Amino acid sequence: MKRMHAVRQRGVTILVVLVLMMVMIMGGLALARMTEIGTLASGNSNYREASLQASEVGVNTAYAAVRALANEEADFGTWYWATMQAADAAGVPTIDWSAAPEVAVGSYSVRYVVERMCNTAPVTATLRQCLVKQVPQTASARVGNEALDPPNSRQFRITVRVAGPKDTETWVQSLVTKG
């Protein structure tokens, strides 16, 4: 009779060991999954940071092109418009991005467009029709002298789209001044 009782105890022990092993295996799988998710998240963060750095090439290239513009009133339908273009809810111009100039930065494709921040073209009243930046000037403090209007410069909005590996896409906008 004692012998039968010992056999039953061995069967229960095996069952307890199998349950504990299953719990340990499930814990190991959960830990492996958490590590994988952490690696993916840090990789995505690196792609985003690299695309943001690549966007600076687009902003600088577009700014150099704006500075070289001889005629601000003419549209160059692939990258420059003399007036603000229609935009989506995020403020991104609704244009054909495949026609915009492209700069390759490593494995990233950088495209840019420029809009002069004016409502109409040609501009007849800069202060009413365009977004301008006024630079305060030092003036005479002499009594009776009329205060002069500060000089103003037109603003341009540069929009840059960066497409990269793993379908990353970054949009950057910047206002620049010319004049």
Domain boundaries, the chain: 2-178
Q: How many CB atoms lie within 10 A of CB 170?
A: 21
Q: pLDDT digits over 52-62, tens only?
A: 889 999 999 99
Q: How many CB atoms lie within 10 A of CB 146?
A: 7
Distance CA 48, CA 55 (A): 11
- Pull the structure tokens for residue 29: 């799988």
Residues 174, 79: contact at Cβ < 8 Å? no
**Residue 91 region, left (φ>0) first, then alpha (ψ -120 to 50), else beta?**
left
Helices (H), the chain: 2-67, 126-129
Q: Does the pLDDT value for residue 25 go beyond 60? A: yes
**Hey, which residues does 153 pair with through a beta bridge?**
133
Report yes or no on whether pTM surpasses 0.75: no
Residues 175, 58: contact at Cβ < 8 Å? no
Q: Does the pLDDT value for residue 24 go beyond 70? A: yes
Q: pLDDT digits over 73-86, tens only?
A: 888 878 998 888 88
Q: Quick check: bond before 165 cis, omega within 30?
A: no
Q: How many CB atoms lie within 10 A of CB 171?
A: 13
3-state secondary structure of 34: helix
